[in-house]
Amino acid sequence: MRFLPDFARKLTLFALCLMLSPPLLALDEQLLEGLAARELGPAAVSGRITAIDAVHEDPNHVVIGTASGGVWRSRNGGLTWEPLFDDQPVHSIGAVAINQANTDVIWVGTGEGNVRNSTSIGGGMFKSIDGGRSWKAVGLERTERISRIALHPKDPDIVYAAALGTLWGENEVRGIYKTTGGGETWTRILYSDTRSGGTDIKIDPFNPEKLYASLWEHRRWPYHFKSGGPGSGVYISWDGGATWQRKTEEDGLPSGELGRITFAPSPAQHGRVYALAEAGKSAMLRSDDGGESWIRTNEDYDIAIRPFYYTGLAADPENPNRVYNIFNRLSVSIDGGKTFELNKVVNCCAAGNFIHIDNHALWINPTDSKHLILGNDGGIAISRDRGETWRFVRNLPLSQFYHIRVDDDQPYNIYGGLQDNGSWRGPAEIWRRVGIQNLDWIEVGFGDGFDTLPFPDNPRAGYAMSQGGNLSRYDLVTGHN
């Protein structure tokens, strides 16, 4: 503890300098004009992906949305990426959708729909008509979070948006919205109350006037989260959202109050729809009559883990019995949702070529169901053999830093704790022509990294914090942690 007085002494001296030097508080902008940011790393991992879409006729053309890094595009199957949303006022993305009839038209719903306590708010719906070179805000600014977008397959002016709404309080601007004018105006077509927002909206692949929608009652406090309530529910419309029918326990849904619910209509079989419902006893559901009735195919305790953070389903476009459960580890069922097998490559902590856990989005190529693109807390993973092997895309600079610290070494080192990607230490500069490389960064902590405290008299050792109140001590010389 002998470093505390020294730290306090330095802090006091710094405060005195500020008080005695008022000009420092108003730096001339001209002094800063020549400064430019430089990327230091680490590049060992990317960051949280929230939404994925791709061009059906050119599946190497991929657009992704991220938790706090905006919208990115790749035209070569993920080898290189370009940012599309850097000039916009918000960078938290909940949904992306490409108009397949005119792929220059891209819709983006801002505000992440996975409502952990560190999510950021959005600013409504955005639309590009030139392939992402420019954007126009097209409404729903006060919704804070857009969790899903559904595009009418025949009329490009008809768009549906699931507006989740505020996380820390009640608000009126939430529910399911529809535009028939390409975003010029929006009409709320489904609403429950000020505590419940739209979490999913899907269009039936065989009838574009038939909709599957869910509302979710939720609320977060600093040390408490409530998921579920009377405002949550499953709704079906046969007339483009003009009227709705609410499904209940009598139709086969779980008993009691529901929480977050998601759908996956099967493009391979008319009338087949999958749903995952959070409840007192969460369940995988299947309907073979277009949602009129439901059966609970799986009620295992781990069918819905932390549903507030990851709840997603994806139906195979070629096999009506294959459905993917997108949660902390990707799992797949080949018997119509009765049993699920975890993908062995998508893991957490084992050595080898494993893909990051905590998954949020899965895109399946509609013309080749072996081609999968998975988005998780670590970035993008791409498979061409239905998940047997994966290529982990690490070249997206999306890491979410919770905390940054520097030490007093010469040259000094930078420490940062990343969301679900550990705590890292890297140099501010290095005496090599090639500059700072990824090999210069060292992981000093695990999990959801936060603050790192290097010892003042020995920057090769220190403490690293992580989620759950964990504290670890590391030593870069001995390798102990």
pLDDT tens, position by position, 149-173: 999 999 999 999 999 999 999 999 9
Mean pLDDT over 232-260 rounds to: 98
- Residue pair 330/387 in contact (Cβ under 8 Å)? The answer is yes
End position of a domain, from candidates 393, 415, 440: 393
368, 461: one domain: no
Share of the chain above pLDDT 70, in %: 92
364, 448: one domain: no
Mean pLDDT over 59-80 rounds to: 96
244, 367: one domain: yes
328, 234: one domain: yes
End position of a domain, from candidates 368, 393, 418: 393
422, 360: one domain: no
> What total of structural domains would you count in the chain?
2
End position of a domain, from candidates 393, 415, 442: 393
Q: How many CB atoms lie within 10 A of CB 7?
A: 10
Share of the chain above pLDDT 90, in %: 73
Identify whether 282 is part of a domain. Answer: yes
Identify whether 40 is part of a domain. Answer: no
Q: Measure the CA–CA gap between 429 and 190, rounded to whole angstroms.
A: 55
Q: Measure the CA–CA gap between 371 and 467, rounded to whole angstroms.
A: 34
Kindly report which listed range (17-26, 249-258, 291-300) carries the lowest average pLDDT score. 17-26
Q: Measure the CA–CA gap between 112 and 196, rounded to whole angstroms.
A: 16
pLDDT of residue 68: 92
213, 68: one domain: yes
Over residues 7-56, the pLDDT tens digits come to 444 444 444 444 445 554 456 777 777 788 888 888 777 889 999 999 99
Half-sphere exposure of 40 (CA within 13 A, CB side): 18
Identify whether 22 is part of a domain. Answer: no
Residue 183 CA: distances (Å) to CA of 132, 140, 158, 389, 429? 16, 10, 8, 40, 48
363, 445: one domain: no
Residue 9 DSSP SS3: helix
315, 287: one domain: yes
Q: Which residue has the tokens 């005195």?
A: 16
Identify whether 44 is part of a domain. Answer: no
367, 476: one domain: no
Residue 392 CA: distances (Å) to CA of 358, 366, 420, 466? 14, 21, 16, 24
Q: How many CB atoms lie within 10 A of CB 182?
A: 16
Mean pLDDT over 105-129 rounds to: 94
- Residue pair 142/124 in contact (Cβ under 8 Å)? The answer is yes
Strand order in the sheet with 146-151: 146-151, 159-163, 175-179, 187-190
453, 423: one domain: yes
Identify whether 448 is part of a domain. Answer: yes
338, 443: one domain: no
Domain that holds residue 374: 49-393
Identify whether 25 is part of a domain. Answer: no
What's the gap between Cα 12 and its chain centre? 41
Kindly report which listed range (227-236, 314-323, 351-360, 384-393) carries the lowest average pLDDT score. 351-360
pLDDT of residue 289: 98
Kindly report which listed range (18-32, 289-303, 388-402) carries the lowest average pLDDT score. 18-32
Mean pLDDT of the chain: 91
Identify whether 16 is part of a domain. Answer: no
Considering the entire predicted model, what is its pTM?
0.90
200, 233: one domain: yes
Identify whether 39 is part of a domain. Answer: no
pLDDT of residue 11: 43
